[in-house]
Structure 1
């Protein structure tokens, strides 16, 4: 091949290579732009996840706050309501039904039998809860008009020792699951103590008395680091 022809062929090869390099560079720019877009999307999603978690915590706190004046009594069997016929002057002397074995009265009678002070005038509502599963224990929820009356009742819980009846804060399912997990860790001696107070779950870590920490647990995931 003549030198001129070789030169022309070489120039074509170089021009083709230059075009391919330019194409690769454009493709590289496109890829980098997509990578940046993906990174931004991931960052946005992470930020959204954080906001969603904050909102979920607020909703959970609000749900728990609606139970702040509640006490749940577990293990106390409540008989179905029965009614007595009576004649009252208000209805013209016609028979009326009077509730003689209300849930509230049964709870009050049991508490009195255990020397536990309970003023029914401070109770806003008293409702039995359905059993959970075939082995579920009966439960009753007391809602007080004021938190101090709830606290006063819970402080007398030690008088129920040996009765298989328990009084606790009325926790949401989320907080009840946290408390259950914390108690499991305590039984396994992975933490020192676990308890609830004012509808919050507390744990005390293992260690020497001067170094042990008491933590408030808001999410069950926070307990994972101690489940080792």
Structure 2
């Protein structure tokens, strides 16, 4: 290691002036490391710039001749310049490479500028979308609340419908529905009830009847069923139970023409009649042996040893028959 005479920097290798013996690093010496190596034995005659610029007095008179030392210095300088010139093509290639890179950087800069503009446009769109999403979230919350309100209303409607159906069915608790009795001219419905009582061995007195009338059915308006309302549900239930024990009852048993079978049941509402039909169909599919109506309520039982279930709604069908 040594300290450069010109820049006072530490250097590992450099050139030594043959005149002043000062040491210089290669940049300050004005020679490349490769040029210095090529000097070989001529290193001992190399001089720094200060020593080169000092004029050398010639004692000769008349003709001026170049001294051997000056010739060597000139040769060294020419070699130094030659070394620098050797590096010039590589330097030019480096400059061209730098120029190419600068052109590429310019292109990249333009692309980045375009991307920046695109990002700004995308940013505006994203902000617009974010605003729309926020609006949609508000709408979704509103829809959720509306949906909850609708569900609550649906539940409320179902409850009201069930209550109305129960109320309507309750108003028929004392009613007997008689189906299959042919219509005759100037018929006496009280007499028909009396004849049915004779056949099933259970009589309802005339004064125990609130009213009796024919009503049209939903699917057959020509053959109207007989609705007989009695004083209480106990009397109705006993009359229907006696009719069930009779097994089969025909119009001819009542002194009427025709071979129609007569059915005596509870007076169910239309909804409960439809529910009874669905219950019978599903009970048949799932091998339930017993389906019956008592007190205007529908019951099912798998077999004689299984528990009975009351079917009030279609949800009960799903619960007990699925």
Q: Which TM-score band (shorter chain)?
A: 0.7 to 0.9
Largest Rg, 1 or 2: 2
1: CA distance, partners of 2:198 / 2:273 = 28
1:78 to partner: Cα distance: 4.7
Deviations 1:58-114 (A, max 9, x none): 111111111111011122335332xxxxxxxxxxxxxxxxxxx52112221332244
Normalised to the residue count of structure 2, the TM-score between the two structures is 0.55
The answer as to 2:247 corresponding to 1:153 is no
CA contact (8 A) 1:129 1:138 kept: yes
CA distance in 1, matches of 2:247, 2:112: 103
CA 1:131–1:35: 2 relative to 1, 3 Å: closer
Please give the secondary structure, in 2, of the residue aligned with 1:156. Answer: helix
Report the CA distance between 1:54 and its aligned residue. Answer: 0.7
Tell me, yes or no, if structure 1 residue 72 matches structure 2 residue 166.
no
Q: Is contact 1:177-1:220 (8 Å) kept?
A: no
**Residue equivalent to 1:198:** 295
Shift of residue 171 of structure 1?
0.2
Instruction: Decide whether aligned partners of structure 1 residues 121 and 15 sit closer, same or farther in structure 2, where only a CA change above 3 A counts.
Output: same
- 1:50-129 alignment, distance < 5 Å: 50-81=155-186, 102-129=188-215
Partner Cα distance (2:291, 2:128) in 1:
64
Distance 1:48 1:188, change over 3 A: same
Contact 2:201–2:242 at 8 Å: present in 1 too?
A: no
**Post-superposition shift, 1:137?**
5.7
State whether residues 78 and 106 of structure 1, in contact with CA within 8 Å, keep that contact through their aligned partners in structure 2: no
C-alpha distance after superposition, 1:12-71 (max 9, x if no partner) = 455444333322221221122222222222222111111111111111111111111101
Query: For each residue in 1:135-189, what CA deviation from the matched residue of structure 2 results, as whole angstroms up to 9, or x when unmatched?
Result: 9865211101222221221221234322232221100010011112222233344
Question: Which residue of the other structure, out of 134, 139, 164, is the alignment partner of 1:34?
Answer: 139
Larger CA deviation: 151-160 vs 59-68: 151-160
| 1:125, distance to aligned residue in structure 2 (A) | 0.6
Pair 1:126–1:13, CA change in 2 (3 A): closer
Where in structure 1 do 4 or more consecutive aligned residues deviate above 3 Å? 1-18, 130-138, 186-190, 224-228
> What is aligned with 1:167?
264
- Name the one with the larger helix percent: 2
Look up the match of 1:184: 281
Contact 2:301/2:309 (<8 A) preserved: yes
Partner SS, residue 111 of structure 1: helix
Whole-Å separation in 2 of the counterparts to 1:47 and 1:39 = 12
Structure 1 residue ranges without an equivalent (≥5):
82-100
State whether residues 191 and 226 of structure 1, in contact with CA within 8 Å, keep that contact through their aligned partners in structure 2. no
Contact 1:191–1:205 (Cα < 8 Å) also in 2: yes
2:314 aligned to which of 182, 198, 220? 220
If each structure's strand is expressed as a fraction of its own residues, which one has the higher value?
1
Gaps of 5+ in 2: 1-105, 250-260
TM-score after normalising by structure 1: 0.75
